[in-house]
Every structure is written in structure tokens, then in C-alpha cells.
Structure 1
Amino acid sequence: MSAVLNFAPASANESVAYLQHKLSFYTDAWDLAQDLAQGISAIVVIDARSEDVYQAGHICSAISFPHRTMNAASTAHLDRSKVYITYCDGIGCNGSTKAALKLASLGFQVKELIGGLDFWKRDGHPMAWGTTAGEWPSASPAAHCGC
């Protein structure tokens, strides 16, 4: 008996519904980089790590907003019409999940960045350092992930 087929696969319609639902929770580095390069203003990238690690290197244009500081008062200035993309170090860190949970609990639309900063760097996307978000480079590399 097949280990893969030991559990019957979902129907095509069930797969479509599940996969569309799954994609509503996450984005990947390539899709985010493409939107940032195009200046899509409907999204805001949030680095959910501590301020000191943000300063040591972050996604270009991301704002520092440590998940530990998120609450109704500290998020009052955020634009509720935006979609907030949260990230942390990578798959071994759940800071982005904690940030997304806090923001969603407060009524914000959120997505998590798959693989966090680790995958962002692996794919060679623009970085910034210091206390400012940094501006997206006008001539960012034209790379393709092959997906």
C-alpha cells in the first residue's frame, strides 16, 4: 500500500478552497519584493523583532514594531485600510506569528512572510540598517525565483 495514498487526496474543489485560504495568510519574499519594488502602497512591512536586531539589518522599507510592544494604544496610529506583513528571523522564530495574532486581534488585516528575514536574505533582496526603514532602491536587481 502506498504511504502517500494511505489517506485519500482531497477533491480538486476542496484543494482549490484550501489552497486559496492558505495563501490568504502568507506571502513569500519574491511576491513581497515585487510589490515593494512597484511601490504598492496597500501593504506595510513590520519587523516584529526587537529594535536592536532591526538596526543590525532589516527588510528595506520595513518599520520596526516589536511584537512585545503591540497593543491597542501602540497600534492606534496604524492605518486600518492597509495589509500588514509581519516578519521575524525565520522559520525558527514565531515573532511574526505573535505580531500577526496581536494585529489581527486588534482588527487589522495581516499576512506573515514565509521564512522571514532568512529567506529574504537568501533570495538577495534589498536590506537596510540602522533606525530608519530605508528606501527601496530605484534599480533593484531583476531576479526571478523560478516559481
Structure 2
Amino acid sequence: MITETRHPTATADSAGLATPTSPVLAVPPADPADAAAYFAARLAFHTDPTDVHGALAAGATDFVVVDSRSTEAWDQGHVPEAVHLPTARIPQDAAQLLDPAVPVVVYCWGPGCDGATRAALALSRLGYRVKEMLGGIEYWIREGYEVTTWEGTERRPVDPLTAPVGGGDCGC
């Protein structure tokens, strides 16, 4: 078995003496202007369940939520206000289900799934403005938000690793 050993690099302090650099800073942080551009661009492509839920609860109508999973997955539970549009059906059905003037927030299963990314790509290629909901339905559910299933609605307990148990704002 081959293992990789990490050796900290060294920098010189004000006296010219070598001081070790942690692996965290072995590649230095980006210039602040570059970092600001990167993070602003990232936010142009992504949103999260907390922001989507908050906006929907406040009555926002400036975007539509799209669940890109299969019918079986949809029936298991989906965001109550979502439109069901499986990724494979986007080329045929998007024009009938979505207004091109309204931005789309797409989700799939969760962070281990690229389904929402594929759906976002397909929609953007058709001219839709798209954001991907980070964490997908998994984090929607883990944060304690209600889902609609084939049997009705349900809400599972908040996962304390993803959201405040008391239902308060996480502060981010």
C-alpha cells in the first residue's frame, strides 16, 4: 500500500527564520477580489433549502421549484410547491410546464447525486435561468420541512447536524 505523507512547507518570518506552513495554507488563499468574484458566481448558480423554504413560506412567486427525479421518487416525497419534471423529460415537457421568464430552482435527491446538475444543464441549454438547490430533497427533509407524498403530507424531525432543532434561523 502506498501512502502519501504531507510535509508542511516553510515560510520565513520577520527575522528570516523558517516557520512551518499548515496544509491549509500550502496553497494560499485567493486574492480578495478573485475570491469575491468566485463566491458571487457560486451564489448565482446555487441556493439552499432554507432560502427556498423561507421564500416560499413568504409567498414568493419570482421563481419556480422543479423536482427532476422519477415519478417513484416524487411519490416518496417532494417540495409541496414543486413542479415534477424528470430530467429525461425536460426537452419534451419544459415549454409546457415552465415559463421561460421565471427563474427555476431545481433539485434531485441530495449532495451525492448529480441529477439536479444534469437537469439544470438541460434547462439552461433551453434558455431558462436556473439555480440548483444544494442538498436536494435530502436536506429539505433533514431541515424539517414538510413534503408531499402519495399518501399526503409529512414532516420529519430536524436533523441536529443540518439545522437548529428548535426551528430557529441558523444565522447564516
- Same fold (TM > 0.5): yes
Q: Percent identity?
A: 36
| Stretch moving more, 14-23 or 74-83 | 74-83
SS in 2 for 1:4: helix
Segments of 5+ residues of structure 2 without an aligned counterpart are 1-8, 10-20, 154-165
Question: Residue 82 of structure 1: CA displacement?
Answer: 0.8
Given the alignment, which residue of 76, 79, 87 partners 2:95?
A: 76
Paired with 2:133 and 2:121, the residues of 1 have a C-alpha distance of 13
Question: Residue 85 of structure 1: CA displacement?
Answer: 0.7
Paired with 1:8 and 1:117, the residues of 2 have a C-alpha distance of 35
Compared with structure 1, are the counterparts of its residues 131 and 25 closer, same or farther at alpha carbon in structure 2 (3 Å cutoff)?
farther
1:145 aligns to 2:170 (yes or no): yes
TM-score of the superposed pair, with normalisation by structure 2: 0.75
Aligned Cα root-mean-square deviation (Å): 1.9
Structure 1 consecutive aligned stretches of length 4 or more whose deviation exceeds 3 Å: none
If asked which structure has higher relative contact order (CA below 8 Å, sep 6+), I would say: 1
Segments of 5+ residues of structure 1 without an aligned counterpart are 135-140
1:82-138 CA deviation, whole Å, 9 max, x = no partner? 111111110111111111000000000000010101111111112112399x8xxxx
1:11-42 CA deviation, whole Å, 9 max, x = no partner? 11111111000110000111111111111111
Q: Considering only CA atoms, is the larger Rg found in Structure 1 or Structure 2? A: 2
Paired with 1:125 and 1:100, the residues of 2 have a C-alpha distance of 23
Match of residue 137 from structure 1 = none
Which residues in structure 2 correspond to 1:55-70 (within 5 Å)? 55-70=75-90
SS in 1 for 2:131: strand
Match of residue 51 from structure 2 = 31
Task: Give the letter aligned to residue 75 of structure 1.
Answer: A
Given the alignment, which residue of 44, 47, 57 partners 2:64?
A: 44
Task: Give the letter aligned to residue 87 of structure 2.
Answer: H
